[in-house]
Amino acid sequence: MKILIYAFRPFKKYKKNISEEVVKNLVNKRKFIKVILPIVYKKKYILNKIKKHQPDIIIGFGQSAGKLIGIERRAKNVFEMERPKGKRVIDPTGPKLYFTNLNLKKIPGVRISYNAGDYLCNLTMYVILDFIKKENLKTRFAFIHIPKNYNLKKATKVSQELIRNISP
């Protein structure tokens, strides 16, 4: 089973992005394909990696302002660019929402969320789920938000446990 895992570089005022650090620290016998995305509003970066590697499973990681690790269940057809451009529709002909098709098993200390925000986490979720649907792929997808001030060692351990619980 081929698993592509992605995270983001630091953005805005942040000097580091815990999602990048967690992904770099993940280890598994399955030998993940790890991708660290630049902070840009271009679909091609992640879609090119998906086309190249043709993974069975994709798991995205992003940084959040919350206090608990969150498993995101849906992506909205909207994203917010830097000011002054404001909110934009991702795909004018696309559905308002997409729901993830890989339901990670909830474990203690992890919450389920239906709001991935309006920034790049939500954008990549929507773009990936849209690509999976339009290309009629069997690829399964999930997204995990890690709080920015979360302990890195604990975040890595919880993330590895969530991934380990994926059924083949």
Sign of the C-alpha dihedral computed for residues 44, 55, 150 and 76 taken in this order: positive
Strand-pairing partners, residue 75, are 98
d(CA 124, CA 126): 5
Report CA 90 to chain centroid distance, whole Å.
16
> Which of these is catalytic: 53, 80, 135, 145?
145
d(CA 36, CA 63): 13
Q: Catalytic site residue 82?
A: no
Q: Catalytic site residue 135?
A: no
> Which of these is catalytic: 20, 53, 72, 161?
72
> Which of these is catalytic: 21, 121, 135, 161?
121
Q: Catalytic site residue 53?
A: no
Catalytic residues: 72, 121, 145
